[in-house]
């Protein structure tokens, strides 16, 4: 029996979708899940789930529940991007999808795929598969927000490993923006930032050791 | 008979709220409506209405319907700001309010109050009444977005009359930001803007006439 038949036409289907970004040596990636059931069965989609009003106190709690139960991932911040809605975007009828985005720390990028209960995979942004529903448009909205932040030098520190070099940080910003940045301009803009903390630890040999940095506790990427 | 009793607990109440901004000689204003029915009857609130899935193709169409039917206002652009949700924000139960914002052209600011079918009033931001539900928080979210835009010199041209002087535009930006701007810095930032078009019309006497400008056709405030 199809449960959607029991949804009165006056009440839309409400769900959350999550654009999860991670970064590794190959650049920026997004986590997609292969849908296990109809509609759009076996198509790739942003991970998500239907709102459970008896369980979720707010929409963001539905997103956190999906991250926890379906993906076993924990993220420093989760942010609402925007709402997609309409009679035609989902064959089950009038629907509302609230899109959230989150950055996955470097250490967890591999772990997410291993602990998943759903078939999920990290995709490079250059090699995205066709996606279900309006998820390509959703992903594009989340990416635009991410890029706008990084353009104005809000640093994507939540994507980084616990300690990182400035070169590593620059590469991550470049992967997000899809273009190279001038090293001296980049370093100048970071001068005086209170969001990254210098460590007394170095990467590499005695020749040209690169200093490690870490993110300030409580750093806010979404603010 | 209370219709809300018939809403299954599994489906949230979905509505749209609209932060409508206008500007006049006294500064920036927001339109509030006095609620005609329970809950929160006779309290001031952002104008809004419940989604009608059989009538509204998307959420933004619900917002346009409210603007048209309840307020008889037409705006150049309407923009989704964010979603407010939860079990506790409305006594009718689990609810989702999608907040939209729009700028009302100067010529319409007085007309809106006159043609309304609901008790509505423009309020100065310095003299806001207590508001129903989480509408104070919603207004604050819309204002933050408006201010962020103007801070980065996206011009609030949709608030302006059909032709305006640069002084008038500066005053409007100042009203939004809540602080004065340096005239020469402001003019320098506007130099080369393709969003405002010089007219061969002037305000004032022969002594120091001020040139009129108009907004470029198709100017996009939300992009």
Q: What is the fold of A3-146?
A: Nucleoside Triphosphate Pyrophosphohydrolase (3.90.79)
ipTM (interface predicted TM): 0.88
Whether the link from the prior residue into A28 is cis, omega within 30° of 0, is no
Distance of alpha carbon B81 from alpha carbon B19, whole angstroms: 9
Q: Find the CB nearest A10 among B53, B94, B96.
A: B53
| Angle, vertex CA A76, rays to CA A70 and CA A79, nearest 5 | 80
Helix boundaries (H) for B38-165? 59-71, 109-115, 135-151
Residues in chain B within 8 Å Cβ distance of A53: 9-12, 87, 93-94
Domain ranges of chain B: 3-150, 157-215
Spatial contact of A44 and A130, defined as CB atoms under 8 Å apart: yes
pLDDT at residue A204, rounded to an integer: 83
The CA distance from A184 to A197, in Å, is 19
What is the tens place of the pLDDT at every residue in B138-163? Answer: 999 999 999 999 999 999 999 999 99
pTM for this one?
0.91
Q: Which CATH number fits domain B157-215: 3.90.1150.10, 1.10.10.10, 3.30.1510.10, 1.10.3720.10?
A: 1.10.10.10
**Over the stretch A131-172, which tens digit does the pLDDT of each residue have?**
999 999 999 999 999 999 999 999 999 999 999 999 999 999
Contact list, A145 vs chain B (CB under 8 Å): none
A142 touches chain B (CB under 8 A): no
Q: Once rounded to an integer, what is the mean pLDDT over residues B111-116?
A: 82
pLDDT in tens, B21-47: 999 988 999 999 999 889 999 999 999
Q: Which residue in chain B is spatially nearest to A223 when comparing CA positions? A: B144
The SS3 of residue B189 is: helix
CATH 3.90.79.10 fits B3-150, yes or no: yes
Cβ-defined contact of B7 to A11 (cutoff 8 Å): yes
């Amino acid at each position: 029996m199809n449960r959607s038949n029991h949804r009165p036409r006056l009440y839309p289907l409400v769900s959350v979708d999550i654009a999860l970004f991670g970064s590794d040596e190959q650049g920026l990636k997004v986590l997609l899940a292969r849908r296990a059931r109809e509609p759009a069965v076996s198509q790739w989609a942003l991970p998500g789930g239907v709102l459970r009003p008896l369980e979720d106190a707010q929409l963001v709690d539905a997103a956190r529940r999906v991250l926890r139960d379906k993906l076993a991932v924990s993220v420093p911040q989760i942010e609402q991007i925007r709402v997609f809605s309409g009679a035609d975007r989902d064959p089950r009828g009038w629907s509302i999808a609230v899109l959230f985005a989150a950055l996955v720390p470097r250490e967890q990028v591999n772990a997410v795929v291993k602990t998943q209960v759903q078939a999920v995979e990290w995709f490079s942004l250059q090699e995205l598969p066709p996606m279900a529903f309006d998820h390509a448009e959703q992903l594009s909205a989340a990416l635009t927000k991410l890029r706008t932040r990084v353009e104005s030098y809000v640093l994507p520190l939540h994507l980084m490993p616990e300690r990182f070099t400035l070169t590593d940080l620059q590469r991550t910003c470049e992967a997000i923006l899809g273009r190279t940045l001038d090293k001296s301009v980049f370093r100048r803009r970071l001068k005086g930032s209170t969001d990254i903390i210098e460590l007394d630890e170095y990467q590499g040999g005695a020749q040209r050791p690169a200093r490690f940095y870490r993110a300030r506790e409580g750093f806010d990427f979404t603010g």
